[in-house]
Chain A
């Protein structure tokens, strides 16, 4: 069985579905038997969620106004826009 250290290193890639089948299976097998790594996995999933939902800075209203006005002036038929 692979070591906890190896599992933790590949945990995010595992959750992202980016491991090859062999590595993916090895981690699943490890997680069936290791409570600590299961905790790490749940926590890594929470962290991914935090990055997906809380990382976007809000656009200030004045910037939004300027950029929307800019968009209004865009014209794909004019290469000099």
Chain B
């Protein structure tokens, strides 16, 4: 428990969580400058309500909740309704399994551990570019779940969406992510060199 409002405590928490907050902000916004601004607005709001934080262990998630709220408010100010941004009106896309696609296509015929080697060919930068290809409505719940560790119920509260909708967004998000991994691997020539081998620059795939 934090007995008193403590400037040092907030600053320590903010500093420790800065890389994670920036990462989330980078996915919630389009540019570096917007991400920087979102982090700053989050800090200001956190500062105003710091006295309400009773358990310092809850600080990391508390900051992310604040960031998500600030992001939703910004969407509204820009004339977008968060619920519309996050609810998918399109019909169910065709089922896609990366595991099965790799079995069928056998892109690494020399490998005895193809599925592991396929994922091993992606650097962190590759994965981040792949995630940028996943539509926002799927990317946000997916990252809240797997990058920041929120449970489905928590995401439902955070985004003001029914739990069933969050399940559906996560399910579709995983399929979009798997499809995007496969497409990126093919377009960038990631698999041509073989896992672990030196690869040429892939300028086309890296451009946004």
Report which A residues bind B (CB closer than 8 A): 5, 8-9, 12-13, 16, 18, 39-40, 42-44, 46-48, 50-60, 63-64, 66-68, 70-72, 74-77, 79, 81
Contacts and interface: CB of A to CB of B under 8 A. Distances in A.
B23 A72 contact: no
Given A57-B22, A74-B11, A77-B7, 16 more contacts: A12-B170, A13-B170, A40-B99, A43-B115, A47-B98, A48-B146, A50-B119, A54-B122, A55-B146, A57-B26, A66-B36, A68-B18, A71-B11, A74-B44, A76-B7, A76-B48
Given A50-B119, A50-B122, A54-B122, A76 B23 contact: no
Interface string B144-182: 011100011000000000000001001100100110000
B20 interface: yes
Interface in B103-138: 115-116, 119, 122-124, 127-128, 131
A75 B22 CA distance: 21
A5 B131 CA distance: 25
Contacts of B140: none
Question: Contact size class for B?
Answer: 35 or more
Chain B interface helix/strand/loop/mixed: helix
Interface of B: 5-7, 10-11, 14-15, 18-20, 22-23, 26-27, 32, 35-36, 39-40, 43-44, 47-48, 50-51, 95, 97-100, 115-116, 119, 122-124, 127-128, 131, 142-143, 145-147, 151-152, 167, 170-171, 174, 177-178
Contact of A9 (B7, B20, B171): B171
Contacts of B36: 63, 66-67
A57 B128 contact: yes
Contact of B177 (A43, A47, A75, A81): A47
A70 B40 contact: yes
Contacts of B143: 51, 55
Contacts of B6: 76
